Structure formats: C-alpha cells, structure tokens
Copies of this chain bind each other. A is one copy, B any other.
Amino acid sequence: MALKLTAEEVSAFLIELFPGWSKYYDVLSLDEQGMRLKMFVGERHLRPGGTVSGPAVFAMVDAGAYLLTMAHIGREAMTVTSNCSIDYMRKPVAGADIIGEFRLLKLGRTLCVMDVLVYSEGDPAPVARANITYAIPPARQKAD
C-alpha cells in the first residue's frame, strides 16, 4: 500500500488544519508498514497522580490514525473516526512522553482499519492498545 503523502507532507497538512499541532506531536517515522508518532506530554495531558490521562492517550491514538489514513489517501480533512476500542493496560511513566506504534491493517473503499500500541518513551511495556477505524469521505470514494 504505497503512501500518497510523506511524513513531512502529512505533518505540514496537519499544521495547516491545526496551527498548534507541532507543539504536541512529532512523526518519528512513516512507511508502508506503519507509523511511529510521539506526543509531547504537558500539564494539560495529566490526571490526578501526575500521569497521562486516558483521554490524552485517546487523543493521540485518534490523531495518529487520522494522519496515517491521510498518508494513504491524500489530503482529505473530512476523513472522520468511525469506531475506536481502547484498552488501558498500565499506568504511564510519570514525566515521560508517549509514543504510538501504528499499523495499517486494511485500506478499503469506505473504511481504513488500524491498530496501535502506546508506550511511555523508554519503557518496553505498552500502556495501552487500541484499534481504530476511519471512514473515508464519499467524495474520495468516487475518485477511486
């Protein structure tokens, strides 16, 4: 499944859409097999106890899946989340940034299915796993 956008192109598109985006995220690698995305953890991401909150982990899963889908279908800002299931497995490491390893499992006509393991940087035990499906906009479907 060849890429339509490089890491640089998809990041530039995100910055157009969400000007503050690059303050929080960095695409570490992107190829046909998948993507590694880093989220810089700040105050706004923390829950009582000082670790990254569940919604902050979800937000990074969703952002990464949006990016990975567009890397494969092109600049389609109206691509939207259809479904996500997430398991929180371990408490994130306090003070560590968060890294998501995304895999593309299926790029279909109407749906793009991915999964992801989320890590605290420097720790090999995943803090969360998720699967997430994006719906590809009908305009894009017609273009196939």
**A interface, CB within 8 angstroms of B:** 17-18, 48-49, 54-55, 58-59, 62-63, 77-78, 80-91, 105-106, 108-111, 113, 115, 117, 125-126, 129, 131, 133, 138
Contacts and interface: CB of A to CB of B under 8 A. Distances in A.
A20 to B, nearest CB: 11
A59 B83 CA distance: 15
Q: Report which residue of A78, A85, A125 has the largest number of chain B beta carbons within 10 angstroms of its beta carbon.
A: A85
Copies in the assembly, this chain: 4
Contact of A55 (B55, B88, B105): B55
A60 to B, nearest CB: 9
A113 B129 CA distance: 9
24 contacts: A17-B48, A54-B62, A54-B80, A54-B81, A54-B84, A55-B58, A58-B58, A58-B84, A81-B88, A82-B88, A82-B111, A83-B88, A83-B133, A84-B85, A84-B86, A85-B131, A87-B105, A87-B133, A105-B117, A105-B129, A106-B125, A106-B126, A109-B138, A113-B129
